[in-house]
Chains A and B, each alone.
Chain A
């Protein structure tokens, strides 16, 4: 695709702009900002990736992964600001995800150890883990907020913080994992997964595209399980002090 043809795709931006203007949806500004952002960001990513793929140097690969983990961490931590040390807890979770998944993929020679594989797969898994962490933190704080009485009751009867928070923790872990599992049940033709579509358009063999999609789907299950469980077990202790008391305002934003 040339830049001339690419610029023609801006028609797709014009249509919602016009509609928004006529119907007074007041979405023009957001649409323009979103468009400019995606152009700048994605093109930048494209050129950076090209550079990394061409050089195929381990330092650049590590740098890219660090960048992805860093960005994802900053995104996710907004949801858990009330939890002490949430930033490094999310970062640690993402690092574990990356280490476990790449360890398996590269260790068993499932994919070649080249930037072309490592970086996109890392991107998808880290991105997903970030979304999961956000889902988890939302749900976890809501669960605790809604059942403060119950948490206090269990503590008052001589239960430990872990016992007091157990239901809320498992509920939140389950709730954040369900979308991953559900979405995989419903993958079908009308909703070809993005990566697969991209590969097919790029000229890859559809069967091979499916194989990679399956790889991602399976890896996402591990990602989902590890991220919510890890972030859960890392974050719950910060809600209590060493006297096993609920820390005031540890939850509410």
Chain B
């Protein structure tokens, strides 16, 4: 990794335990400003847990996380969460219309989202304006994912955390969402951490990658390590995924 990169988030000896069960085990590493870092690893590796930590939804049991050069706990939680946006893995929907869901980040700040802005956010994720007044609960899994992505962009975060945002999408939509995220990354220099189970996707979109297993960070580096790593467990994992 080259030393010219500015650090956006750094983990220093981060441990996370729930009821004596180790979930994250001594994570140390950096995410670079303006870059897309993918986070890959088997189910239960601790990827979502790590992502939620960056957004302040949970805190390490021990160890430190820095956002920029300040410890994460020095930020006021609501400010932190507005500038470090997250699209959660479950793409949660609140009762009400798509518009209601989309404007939630604004509603929480007592701001109103103009309808034409809402439509343009919808169009960004390739949903047309007719969706605006549909009940969000009635949407398909993939459509909910698109709403969740659009919603995470509303606060215009400086850091964006994406948890398997294309897992329920068809190939065309996957491509469109990838293009959208790449565009946001390039245009606004947004730092991104993107969890994916799709190794090809990780190679396509990620500048860097973190490979996690069983709560540990096995290897980090440029995305090419996904093909070139000599670590046996990583090779097995990557090839296993490709065989599917």
Contacts and interface: CB of A to CB of B under 8 A. Distances in A.
B56 A243 contact: yes
B4 interface: no
B244 interface: no
B94 A150 contact: yes
Contact of B155 (A155, A158, A243): A158
Contacts of B81: 155-158
B77 A153 contact: no
Contacts of A152: 57, 88, 92
B90 to A, nearest CB: 6
Interface string A64-92: 00000000000000000000000000000
Contact of B105 (A149, A157, A245): A157
Interface in B33-74: 52, 55-59, 73
Interface string A159-187: 11001000100000000000000000000
Interface residues of A, number: 18
A248 interface: yes
Interface string B77-99: 11101100110101010110000
Contacts, number: 61
A154 interface: yes
B88 A153 contact: yes
A118 interface: no
B155 A157 contact: yes
Given A150-B92, A153-B88, A248-B18, A158 B59 contact: no
A157 B73 contact: no
B238 to A, nearest CB: 30
A156 B79 contact: no
A153 B163 CA distance: 13
B2 interface: no
Nearest to B59: A243
A149 B86 CA distance: 13
A158 B151 contact: no
A159 B152 CA distance: 13
A244 B78 contact: yes
Contacts of B77: 243-245
B15 to A, nearest CB: 16
A71 B151 CA distance: 49
Nearest to A240: B77
Contacts of B78: 158-160, 244
A246 B52 CA distance: 12
A153 B87 CA distance: 9
B82 A158 contact: yes
A246 B92 CA distance: 16
Contacts of A150: 92, 94
Interface in B149-163: 151-152, 155
Contacts of A243: 56, 59, 73, 77
A157 B90 contact: no
Contacts of A149: 88, 90, 92
Nearest to A156: B86
A154 B155 CA distance: 13
Contacts of A159: 78, 108
| Chain B CB within 10 Å, residue with most, of A243, A244, A248 | A243
B8 interface: no
A158 B105 contact: yes
18 contacts: A149-B88, A150-B94, A153-B88, A154-B94, A154-B108, A155-B81, A156-B52, A156-B57, A156-B88, A157-B104, A157-B108, A157-B155, A158-B81, A163-B108, A167-B94, A167-B95, A243-B77, A248-B18
